[in-house]
Structure 1
Amino acid sequence: MKYVMGVDLGTSAVKVLLLNQEGEVIREAAKSYPSIQKKSGYSEQNPEEWVEKTILAIKEITAGLDPEGIEGISFSGQMHGLVLLDCNHQVLRDAILWNDTRTTKQCRDIYELVGEKRLLDIAKNPALEGFTLPKLLWVKEHEPEIYESAAVFLLPKDYLRYCLTGEIHTEFSDAAGTLLLNISEKEWSREICEAVGVDIRLCPPLIESSDFTGCLMPDIAHQTGLSDQVKVFAGGADNACGAIGSGILEEGKTLCSIGTSGVVLSYEESNQRDFAGRVHYFNHGKENAYYTMGVTLAAGHSLSWFKDIFAADEHFDDLLKGLAAVPIGANGLLFTPYISGERTPHADAVIRGSFIGMDTSHKKIDFVRAVIEGITFSLNESVEIIRESGKKIDSIISIGGGAKNEEWLQIQADIFNAKIVKLTSEQGPGVGAAMLAAYGCGWYSSLSKCSQVFTQVAETYEPIKENVEKYKELYSLYKLIYQKTKGLNASLNRFRH
């Protein structure tokens, strides 16, 4: 039997999947690593932790297997992170992650230097704190010695792949999240680089997600238990791989993925659509394709935060027990998931979350329901924007943490007013990475052919008309909270440490 491996380098852990030619997940392993938060709004990780934990996870999976049977490996990775390497390709500082919000000034600088409209014309996305270019400019301003020592920057999964193969590349789906890529032309933008004073030579070589990037270095093969002849492929950004792994490979397909962050993603064939920066517009992992995407910064993270603070000793399954018995609206309780700021539709690093309507009758499960409804309301704002562009969304594939609970799947159907499709495997990014390896190895003639084997529907959830109407009323109240609390949060910001 032949196998491929998908490595999903997430924010809190690396997950490695081993799939056979029928698209079945045969083995999986996960290893967690910490984040470093030196100040409020800062979020960093040690890139060496990614490498160490990935090697351990692969070693766990390959134990007892014939290494010659594993033909290919590819990667999915957290977007926007900044890894700086010197001329000897040594790491110069800890990686600055996608959810780091220290770069508000640098975002303003980008608009002044490039022009807001021109930036949208080229990079198709607004200047937001999470993107890579603002981080690069922050290092240039605050750590000039490190910046001057930099020879190249990499995205997180590209650094991991470099450590396994010794080859430096990035690919279009991840490069699209830097603000340095000309999305339509599929090349680094010399115009943006010159405007902001970044040497274009810091940008790594560009390739396609399914391109072969080399084989494992012998010492890595020895440590992992893999053959040094295993083929390594470029991979893609986590959301691009999530789209591939969920079959979002043709017009009309839409995805909702709830992980640490949450995304609503819709396939696009054209590179010329204009959303005026209201949603993100990125290159797909499929060649010459694109996708629009709205982001909730703290989706699953809002629920895990609540659990860690108020139910640390409970398993998630126990935390969600009784969820279905709580009425729509959580007995008059609303939650906004702005605990890390927000991305879509409010590009606001200062806004913070709220519980609205608390009283002494509320129980813990009411708060849990309010958190889940609030996350889904936030994602619905992205669905609404994409629909307003003229797209019909009547069916959405749901993956990630939000696809693991039946009641949450029904809540998605009712709030989105669309059929929700649950797949047999909700691990979209890891499966998508494995599919890129399978396609790269020549198992299938296209990613679409591969998807017909690797993605299967498990269940569907239809919207319930009565629930849809109740949620429409609640949603209109939810949307008021941002404007009502924006000024308060801006005033509170100086008290945060």
Structure 2
Amino acid sequence: MNKSKCIAIVDVGTQSMRTILYNKLGESLYTSQLPYSPIFNGIEVEQDPRTWKDTLYATLKEINDFARKNKLIIESISLTSQRASIIPVNAQGKVLYNAITWQDRRSYEETKSVKEKMSMQDIYQKTGLRLDSYFSAPKMKWVKNNMPDLYEETYKFIGVQDYVCYLLTGRFVTDVTQAARTLLMDIHKFKWDDDLIDAFDLDKSKLVEIVAPGSSVGKLSAQAVEKTGLSSDIDVVLAGGDQQCAAVGLNVLTEGTLEANIGTGSFIIAHADKPVFDENMRVLISASAVPGKWVVEAGLLTSGNIYAWYRDQFYKEDNFDNINKEVIESKAGAKGLLLIPHFKGSAAPYWNPLSKGVFFNATLEHTRGDFARSVLEGIALEMAENIELIADLIGYVDIIHAAGGLTKFPTFNQIQADVFNKAVSVYDSSEATALGALISCMVSKGDFKSYKEGFQILRGKANKVTYHADPKNRFLYTKMLRTKKQLYHALNDSQIYTYMSMK
């Protein structure tokens, strides 16, 4: 393949946007990354979409400057982003209100009225999702109920990937991996469902067109060319949601394979050739970034951001050097200290928006390093519950492919292996989402015949480290997992979460 021909990956995360330039050998040539911050107000979490607009144009301009200086040709831009956020816009694409993000829980009440029209089980069987404020439709309904003028003025409700796509092409469009997180798409047919739209009392006209993941959706608009300096010949591809792209980038392409992607939140994802449902609706079914396939998914709302929060509060440092050092010094089990990591409520497996974070069993013997280790162990223990659930649906899982910011810390990878009691494999590049978006684009352009071929050629021989469970820690973490489950149920069954949430 021609080394001068390149693809730019735009990865819109919760805390930053990364635009990464790859050649067609899968080599990362340059990265432009800019941070931003959501706006937290209790259970409400918003973001000014202008931060995405500004960082998009700035990172693409920087990438373009690098490409021109090095005589590289950018053929395509492949988009991937966070999911289940909504942005109301008018017909000219003008943003009418802040984005209500995936972490926002204000639409909890809106879910109640929907149950009167359609049961939770029927919704789950049709969408693969639980009726929960995590997803897009309850947020749209909240806007209609609480800001009716804004609802009427809104031409389209779009997601973050959709907004970036509009900024680049002038087109309102989404792909099935993003639509699958709205509660409005039939997961079997990959189409908007009229019965679901009616149950939420929404207008179908306010939804955008759905295309398959990996679809080319147009060339760069004149405005995008002006803002970035890029060529108008560059086309834009919708690779899909960040977690589905990460699954591709971690070779989760056959049944029995599973990935753990640990970022702001954590996601456990397994490949499925057909939709598989949990009778208790604890895990989700979404559309895969591979057209016509599915993923089984479980998510934690808070993970890496808890570790960053703890560092900010108790170490007051910009890097993780000291906190990581003290985690290493703390022994497995953190002297019995246990964390329930529900700092923004719970998604899988409990689906309780009122649940809160808890440090349990603290004594005067515990150090701040013990607390730091308990954060990482608490995240891993919550993930382990979800891995157990998914394994029950898809069959035995032998090895787990891990990625995300926290996997740069080897001790956390060993904690995962010990807690999961399974081998955990980590590739030398943590950019699984970007790699998946690259493979999606190259399959779309005919560079590869399949996603499997794309992975094998680009990453089949990549360096990776595999962490194996330490047998002497098995009893310890089995006991901690059982205790964590019992602690959660004791708090929830006694209505403590409900009582503490009352105003």
- TM-score of the aligned structures, taking structure 1 as reference length: 0.96
1:210 counterpart (211, 214, 219):
214
Which residue of structure 2 lines up, in the alignment, with residue 366 of structure 1? 370
Which residue of structure 2 lines up, in the alignment, with residue 103 of structure 1? 107
What SS does the aligned partner of 1:73 have? Answer: strand
What SS does the aligned partner of 1:125 have? Answer: coil
Which residue of structure 2 lines up, in the alignment, with residue 87 of structure 1? 91
CA distance in 2, matches of 1:161, 1:28: 20
Bigger drift between 335-344 and 462-471 goes to 462-471
The answer to whether residue 390 in structure 2 is matched with residue 382 in structure 1 is no
Q: Deviations over 1:396-452 (max 9, x none)?
A: 000002311111111111111111111121111122222222222222122211111
Bigger drift between 477-486 and 49-58 goes to 477-486
What SS does the aligned partner of 1:484 have? Answer: helix
CA distance in 2, matches of 1:16, 1:136: 29
Aligned counterparts, 1:455-470, within 5 A: 455=459, 456-470=462-476
CA distance in 2, matches of 1:64, 1:159: 25
Aligned counterparts, 1:55-454, within 5 A: 55-66=57-68, 69-389=73-393, 391-454=395-458
Q: Which has the higher contact order (CA 8 A, sep 6+)?
A: 1
Q: 1:390 to 1:234 in 2, by over 3 A?
A: closer
Q: Deviations over 1:313-367 (max 9, x none)?
A: 2511321113233211101211111111110111111111011111222111111
1:114·1:196 contact (CA, 8 Å) conserved in 2? no
Q: Which amino acid aligns with 1:21?
A: K
TM-fit CA distance, 1:69:
1.0
Coordinate RMSD, CA, aligned? 1.5
TM-fit CA distance, 1:224:
2.0
2:128·2:277 contact (CA, 8 Å) conserved in 1? no
- Between the two proteins, the alignment pairs up a number of residues equal to 494
Which residue of structure 1 lines up, in the alignment, with residue 498 of structure 2? 490
CA distance in 2, matches of 1:160, 1:312: 34
1:6·1:432 contact (CA, 8 Å) conserved in 2? no
CA distance in 1, matches of 2:47, 2:318: 27
The answer to whether residue 35 in structure 2 is matched with residue 27 in structure 1 is no
Q: Deviations over 1:455-476 (max 9, x none)?
A: 3342111111111222111111
CA distance in 2, matches of 1:364, 1:195: 49
2:340·2:357 contact (CA, 8 Å) conserved in 1? yes
Q: Which amino acid aligns with 1:6?
A: I
1:421·1:457 contact (CA, 8 Å) conserved in 2? no
1:15 counterpart (12, 18, 38):
18
Q: Which amino acid aligns with 1:117?
A: Q
CA distance in 1, matches of 2:344, 2:49: 22
What SS does the aligned partner of 2:39 have? Answer: coil
2:6·2:22 contact (CA, 8 Å) conserved in 1? yes
TM-fit CA distance, 1:274:
4.5
Gapped regions of structure 1 (runs ≥ 5): none
1:17·1:431 contact (CA, 8 Å) conserved in 2? no
1:18·1:28 contact (CA, 8 Å) conserved in 2? yes
2:93·2:166 contact (CA, 8 Å) conserved in 1? no
Q: Which amino acid aligns with 1:325?
A: E
Which residue of structure 2 lines up, in the alignment, with residue 51 of structure 1? 53
1:85·1:92 contact (CA, 8 Å) conserved in 2? yes
CA distance in 2, matches of 1:205, 1:64: 34
CA distance in 2, matches of 1:453, 1:17: 19
CA distance in 2, matches of 1:277, 1:92: 35
Q: Which amino acid aligns with 1:398?
A: A
Q: 1:303 to 1:42 in 2, by over 3 A?
A: same
CA distance in 2, matches of 1:317, 1:438: 38
2:8·2:74 contact (CA, 8 Å) conserved in 1? yes
Gapped regions of structure 2 (runs ≥ 5): none
TM-fit CA distance, 1:16:
1.3
CA distance in 1, matches of 2:226, 2:257: 41
2:481 counterpart (472, 475, 482):
475
CA distance in 2, matches of 1:323, 1:89: 47
CA distance in 1, matches of 2:278, 2:325: 43
